[in-house]
Structure 1
Amino acid sequence: MMRMHFKRYVYLAMFTMLLQFIVFKYCYPYPNFMQDSYNYLRSAYTNADANMWPVGYAKLIRAVGFFTHWDTALIFVQYCFYHICALYFFFTLLDLTSVGKWPRRLIFAFLFLNPAILYLGNYVTSDVYFIGISLIWISQLFRLVYQASKWLLAAHLLVLLLAYTVRYHALIYPVISITVIVFCPFSVRVKIASGLIMTGMIGGFMLYTTWQSEKVMGTRQFSAFSGWQMANNAVHAYAHMPERPPLQVPPQFAAIHSKVNAYIDSLQHIPMSQRPDGPLMAFYLWDATSPLQPSPGAVNIADNAAHLRQMAAVAPLYNDYGKYLISQHPASYFRYFLLPNFFQYAYPPVENLGVYNDGRDTVWPVAQTWFRYPSNKVYTRSNQKELVLFDYYPALMVFIMLLFISGWIAYYRVSGPSFADMKFRNALRIGTFYWIVHYGFSVLASPVVLRYQLFNMILGVVFGVLLWELVLQAKMKTNKLPNPT
């Protein structure tokens, strides 16, 4: 029976994937591009081993480019990769507990018929690739608790390293992996060895990236992006303060602080709702008019190697400047960055998902060169009216969080742990632990947007549906019990 279900869902996933892909690519012949896309393409074109972002996704672009520079091939590879990972995740879930017909269909639909995955898969960015890796990573954690296989553990360490090379959000993955492995049925020797190997692999990657950053961008640091992110977050909160008392800043911050104040003063006549820095986004990090930019007004920032080297050069200074602003105004930082970002996690802005190609009909030169387009013009056959669908995704995120939290509470109220399968109980603990750690890290690290939340939405739907199924099963059994009187 399980083999029959396996084949049926594999065939169904393949069929829906191909059908969606063919129809979608007819409507959108060209990939979707955002500023990040051009940085990845530049990294692939130059075969860089360090850049503002991790270069793991750029290596995927280059690997596909070894065979073909056809843009549709790249999109198909990353979309197909997601589906393979989602199938592994789906069958892992079926192995955790007995899943009813309708819950199984709901989970399958959210994994394989989700418009957000389809549209995000058309982007030249690391998002769908990273979601796929994350599905494998957490599936392996679910399995390791009851399947003490050294081969699976070795594969998990490799997947963990791969995730680390693709997105900085994977910084929390080793913490979660080590915590789970401690409770796995391995010997103490294996647990210690896996921890040391994990530390060595990630440490080696960080040292190599640091060395390459100095070679490529002229500054010895693991991540230039983190310094800029710190400055962006701090300046955003500082700019939203109703009053800014004069600060006697240390000499090294005097020049940049003067530029920041002058820029904020120039916006005082504009209502906050209309200001370019009004929304909680990465305005001060990437906008060409940002006072933090070393060359204000520079064009094609993400594809400008000289400008990126300038950004990398000031990243350590900006990291210290951001920390200084936060230390001087901790309450304002909490009020204007952390607190809004706390709620933005639950109601994330649509950002790039709600628009095609940033609203332009052209692409930057590096995209034209890499994909060998005859011109820089791109087009769609769709009127793009369907993109309004993503306006409802923030509300969907709220619903999913409520579904998961209410299901979790109801599960314990009916004494779910007393009758639920041990595999499911362990997976629920891992999923809950991940969400708590990810929530804290995301709120502290950077402004949260919808495309960062799709993996969490998947976990929320899965555990929300499975928890409520167990709750309903428990109540049905209770109602069938004979009356003791």
Structure 2
Amino acid sequence: MKQQQYFYHFLFREKVNKQLLTIGLLTGVGYLLLLRVLFPFPSFYADSYTYLDAAAEQQPISFRPIQYSEFISFFHNFSTSDLPLIAGQYFSAVLANLFLFFTCTYLFKLPGFLKKIVFALLVFNPLYLLTANFVLSDSFFCSLTTAWIACLIWIIYKPGIANILGQLILLLLLFKLRYNALIFPCFTTLALIFSKQNVWIKTGVAIASFGILFILMDKISDTTQKLTGTRTFSAFSGWQMASNAIHVLRNQPADTTNFDSEQRTINHFVINYLIDKDSLKVKEEEVTASYIWDRQSPLKQYLNYYASLDNYTDTYFETWTALGPVYNTFGAAVIQQQPLAYIRYFVWPNTKRYFFPVMEAYEQFNEGRDSVDKLAARFYNYQSTNIDNRHASLHIAALAPWKYLFPVVNTAFILLSLLYLITGRYRRQSRLFNQVLLTVTAFYLGNLCFVSAVAPNVFRYHLFVITLLLVFGTYLGYLLANKKADVS
């Protein structure tokens, strides 16, 4: 409690910080008003309609993780307008960024001018405003991840019940938003190792962090089995696994000796697809998710075949879900058989794609359309499916530079981290700062490796990375530029 009072004093009674907090909140209000003047409608993408459909029908499961649909439903309770959702997404970003900013500047010193620069990068940066204007899970995932990292920093510094419970709640929400949060408890464990508390408490919190995710996985599997007849935690993961495996098969054939009959049939569909060069819509070296969604892909062709079987009368979603475990087994068989080929043809190109990201949904405003699907118009009570997108070019122009800034920010952080280690500057800094930096760096590398190994990288999946690198990259640059600098 005492430490919380100190932080309260730092935040609300120190004149500079109180001013910055006020500026941050007022800027958020002003930015949101400007956004609604320029863009009276949010930007929709193909994924948006899946989320909206699940929210409108109050579905307990969907093609994608259900948490974002639950957020949509929650904000829809306040108004049938889309404004509460967009405002909620943006102010979540504002508050999370302020939480991380004040946490870091409370624990680690920065010169006044650098402190203001970091503040500006986190608060005045239009990136957070514009990404919040999409009906996609990206903005919430970025905000919650930022807040979760801030909780880990507090756990390392001086753990308390509020920080521990906060990270557990955030972890649960993050996992329900995106399943790549499955690896996040590993970094909670690292933070706990660094924290000063009883080993049994550390062990208990680490077990709880992993435990809540496995309990949730089991619950989702039960619900999926009850509603579709197929027990699986994530059918989408199975489709993704098979899609990834096709990257191997389009370069090297599989040895089907140990495949079962179903796997051989799927492989046959893949071979026929790859033979027909006209249907191969992607370059051989390109990493893609089109095999999951393209109607002509072998996975979709096999789905149609599977659904046509005499004894099969399920709905499309039930069929799609049933094939999740099937495709997971097939994809795993191909990848385990040729792991080096998988690294060569999927992981390595996908890692390069991380540093030179595809903007995907952010390439255009509302997919370049001046209308939305009837589902969105009905859900948000639009007068028609036509929307005002007269300033779409401004939306695109404001996001476009990040295609080039993202690799710069990432490369700079990696180089600064290496220099910090090589030059031995870490010896002059406090154990706390080094522990926090190590946790953030481990999280950065872990996320990069995990995502690059399991799913095609696109820019919007890594918004939270920008937030972390802007903050800690500034600290590293300051420490390296000033030999006697000390942030402790």
- Give TM-score scaled by structure 1 length: 0.89
- Equivalent pair of 1:51/1:213 in contact (CA under 8 Å): no
476 and 439 in structure 1: CA distance in 2 versus 1, 3 angstrom threshold = closer
Residue 338 of structure 1: aligned partner? 347
Conservation of the 8 A alpha-carbon contact between 1:13 and 1:83: yes
The residue aligned with 1:206 is: 217
Task: State the partner residue of 2:184.
Answer: 173
Q: Judge conservation of contact 1:236–1:284 (CA < 8 Å) in 2.
A: no
Cα distance in structure 2, aligned partners of 1:124 and 1:157: 26
Q: Which residue pairs with 1:466 in the alignment?
A: 475
Task: Tell me the amino acid that sits aligned with residue 424 of structure 1.
Answer: F
Is 1:41 aligned to residue 52 of structure 2? yes
Residues 120 and 277 of structure 1: CA distance in aligned 2, closer, same or farther (over 3 Å): farther
Corresponding residue of 2:78 = 67
Amino acid at match of 1:310: T
Pair 414,258 (structure 1): closer, same or farther in 2 beyond 3 Å:
closer
Q: 1: CA distance between counterparts of 2:61 and 2:273? A: 31
* Matching of residue 286 in structure 1 with residue 293 in structure 2: yes
The question of whether the paired residues in 2 share the 8 Å contact of 1:48 and 1:216 is answered with no
Amino acid at match of 1:264: L
Q: Give the one of 101, 105, 108 matched to 1:97.
A: 108
* Residue correspondence of structure 1 range 471-482 to structure 2 within 5 A: 471-474=480-483
Corresponding position: 1:83 with 2:90 = no
Amino acid at match of 1:6: N
1:295 Cα shift?
4.0
Equivalent position of 2:61 in the other structure: 50
Q: Is 2:262 the counterpart of 1:252? A: yes
Aligned to 2:463: 454
Q: Secondary structure at the match of 2:299?
A: coil
Which among 436, 442, 447 is matched to residue 433 of structure 1?
442
Unaligned residue ranges in structure 2 (runs of 5+): 1-8, 308-313
Provide the C-alpha distance between the structure 2 equivalents of 1:105 and 1:155, rounded to a whole number of angstroms.
28
Report the equivalent of 1:370. Answer: 379
CA distance 1:41–1:245, change in 2 (3 Å): closer
**Where in structure 2 are the equivalents of 1:99-178 lying within 5 Å?**
99-178=110-189
Please give the alpha-carbon distance, in whole angstroms, between the structure 2 residues aligned to 1:173 and 1:14: 29
The CA distance in 1 between the partners of 2:249 and 2:30, in whole Å, is 49
The answer on 1:352 being equivalent to 2:350 is no
Offset from partner CA, 1:334-384 (integer Å, 9 cap, x none): 222111011112221111112111222232232222112232222312151
Q: Which residue of 2 aligns with 1:396?
A: 405
Q: Distance in 1 between matches of 2:69 and 2:187?
A: 26
2:19, 2:121 → 1: CA distance? 17
Match of 1:481 in 2: none
TM-score, normalisation: structure 2: 0.89
Cα offset, 1:475, TM superposition = 6.0
3-state DSSP of counterpart to 2:298: coil
Question: Residue 282 of structure 2 contacts residue 288 of structure 2 at CA under 8 Å; is this kept in 1?
Answer: no
Kept after mapping to 1: 8 A contact 2:142/2:464: yes
2:234 to 223, 229, 237: 223
Distance in structure 2 (CA, Å) of the matches to 1:91 and 1:50 = 37
Judge conservation of contact 1:99–1:466 (CA < 8 Å) in 2.
Answer: yes
Report if the CA contact (8 A) 1:417-1:425 is conserved.
yes
Q: State the alpha-carbon separation in 1 of the partners of residues 296 and 458 from structure 2.
A: 22
* Preserved CA contact (<8 Å) 1:34 1:352: yes
Residue 292 of structure 1 aligns to a residue in which SS? helix
Identity over the aligned pairs, expressed in percent? 28
User: Per the alignment, do residues 279 and 154 of structure 1 end up closer, same or farther by CA in structure 2, a change over 3 Å counting?
Assistant: same
CA change 1:25–1:237 in 2 (3 A) is farther
Aligned to 1:261: 271
User: Could you tell me how far apart the structure 1 residues matched to 2:485 and 2:157 are?
Assistant: 29
Q: Tell me the CA shift for residue 236 of structure 1.
A: 2.9
CA contact (8 A) 1:277 1:284 kept: no
How many Å separate the matches in 1 of 2:123 and 2:284? 36
The verdict on how the C-alpha distance between 1:97 and 1:410 changes in structure 2, with shifts beyond 3 A counting, is: same
Query: CA offsets, 1:372-405, max 9 Å, x none?
Result: 2232222312151551454432321221122212
Q: Find 1:384's aligned residue among 378, 388, 393.
A: 393
| Paired position in structure 2 for 1:483 | none
Equivalent pairs, count: 465
Aligned-residue Cα RMSD (Å) equals 2.4
Higher mean displacement: 370-379 or 334-343: 370-379
Shift of 1:278: 6.7
Cα distance between partner residues in 1 of 2:95 and 2:370: 32
Partner residue, 1:26: 37
Structure 1 gap ranges (5+)? 299-304, 478-485
